[in-house]
């Protein structure tokens, strides 16, 4: 229950007490002398006292539940904040099953720029790229540039895992029953400022900078003739953009994203 609701209930209780006091004085007070009938008083006072006692119990229960909810929200808030911080500090030295640190993955624009310029220096890649985009059967396996694409595939797979973790985390926080809205907003702000902002800013650059748009359209993780959906073999494919679209739909995260562009 919100604080203003609790104060409203207390105000109602005070009003009832005040009205009761006035009624008692009207019925039992005659100028300066008090005429008191215990039976008549009990008939009037007992239901009122019972009602006030019942309302007092309800208020106490509501206050206790509200305090429990706040404590529960605080506990979950600490858990998720620590979880976000742990993701930010993950690197190959403390996690045996990852090849790149979170910091390296979120700086993906530097990685793909470096690899794409290497690929552009390879005439065989440029030739196969042109053929593949023209729907000719081309396979990258065994080609002179395939080692570079192998590194790109490994990086892409690691990045995609990280982006999906963010998607699950955002949905989990957003739909959490025991986190209050203030805690959710703080967590989203912390997640964005510590990690997601790097991702969304880089995505924006690849969407609007002409030099980087070339990379977006021409960097493939592999050439496989059997793949009819060529978008899936692009580094910047639909799966890569799922997190960006989720950020746009989230009120708090999207507000932070837009403030980055206007600042």
The 10s digit of each residue's pLDDT in 111-150 is 999 999 999 999 999 999 999 999 999 999 999 999 999 9
Which H/E stretch holds residue 33? strand 33-34
Contact residues for 35 (Cβ-Cβ < 8 A; gap 6+):
28, 29
d(CA 258, CA 251): 11
Instruction: Count CB-CB contacts under 10 A for residue 252.
Output: 19
What is the per-residue pLDDT across 83-92, written as a single tens digit (0 to 9) for each?
999 999 988 8
pLDDT surpassing 90 at residue 202: yes
pTM: 0.75
pLDDT at 17: 66
CB 78 within 8 A of CB 86: no
Instruction: Count CB-CB contacts under 10 A for residue 113.
Output: 15
d(CA 87, CA 75): 19
Domain locations in the chain? 3-70, 89-262
Q: Taking residues 147-166, what's their average pLDDT?
A: 95
CA gyration radius, the chain: 32
Q: How distant, in Å, are the alpha carbons of 146, 170, 225 from that of 233?
A: 14, 26, 11
Structure tokens at 45: 């006072």
The residues pairing with 235 across neighbouring beta strands, listed in sequence order, are none
Ordered DSSP codes for 37-55: -HHHHHHHHHHHHHHHHHH
Least confident of 52-61, 178-187, 241-250: 52-61
To the nearest 10°, report the CA torsion of 49, 52, 58, 60.
Answer: -100
Choose among 94, 215, 107: nearest CA to 159. Answer: 107
d(CA 170, CA 243): 9
CB 200 within 8 A of CB 260: yes
d(CA 101, CA 229): 30
What is the per-residue pLDDT across 24-83, written as a single tens digit (0 to 9) for each?
666 655 544 445 555 555 555 566 666 556 556 565 655 555 555 555 678 889 999 999
Q: What is the mean pLDDT of the chain?
A: 83
Least confident of 54-63, 198-207, 215-224: 54-63
Q: How distant, in Å, are the alpha carbons of 21, 51, 84 from that of 16?
A: 9, 10, 50
């Amino acid at each position: 229950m919100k604080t203003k609701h609790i104060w409203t209930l207390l105000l109602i209780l005070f009003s009832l007490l005040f009205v009761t006091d006035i009624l008692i004085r009207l019925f039992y007070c005659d100028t300066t002398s008090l005429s008191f009938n215990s039976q008549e008083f009990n008939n009037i006072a007992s239901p009122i006292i019972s009602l006030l006692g019942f309302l007092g119990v309800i208020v106490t229960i509501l206050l206790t539940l509200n305090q429990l909810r706040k404590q529960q929200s605080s506990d979950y808030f600490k858990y998720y904040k620590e979880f976000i911080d742990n993701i930010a500090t993950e690197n190959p030295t403390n996690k045996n099953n990852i090849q790149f640190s979170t910091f390296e993955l979120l700086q993906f624009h530097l990685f793909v720029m470096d690899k794409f310029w290497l690929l552009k220096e390879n005439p065989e890649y440029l030739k196969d790229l042109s053929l593949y985009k023209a729907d000719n059967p081309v396979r990258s396996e065994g080609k002179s540039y395939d080692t570079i694409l192998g590194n790109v595939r490994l990086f892409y797979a690691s990045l995609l895992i990280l982006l999906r973790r963010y998607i699950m985390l955002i949905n989990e926080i957003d739909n959490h029953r025991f986190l209050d809205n203030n805690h959710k907003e703080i967590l989203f702000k912390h997640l964005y400022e510590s990690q997601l902002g790097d991702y969304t800013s880089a995505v924006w650059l690849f969407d609007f900078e002409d030099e980087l748009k070339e990379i977006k359209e021409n960097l493939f993780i592999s050439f496989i003739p059997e793949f009819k959906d060529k978008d899936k073999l692009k580094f910047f494919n639909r799966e890569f953009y799922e997190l960006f679209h989720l950020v746009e739909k989230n009120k708090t995260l999207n507000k932070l994203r837009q403030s980055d562009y206007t600042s």
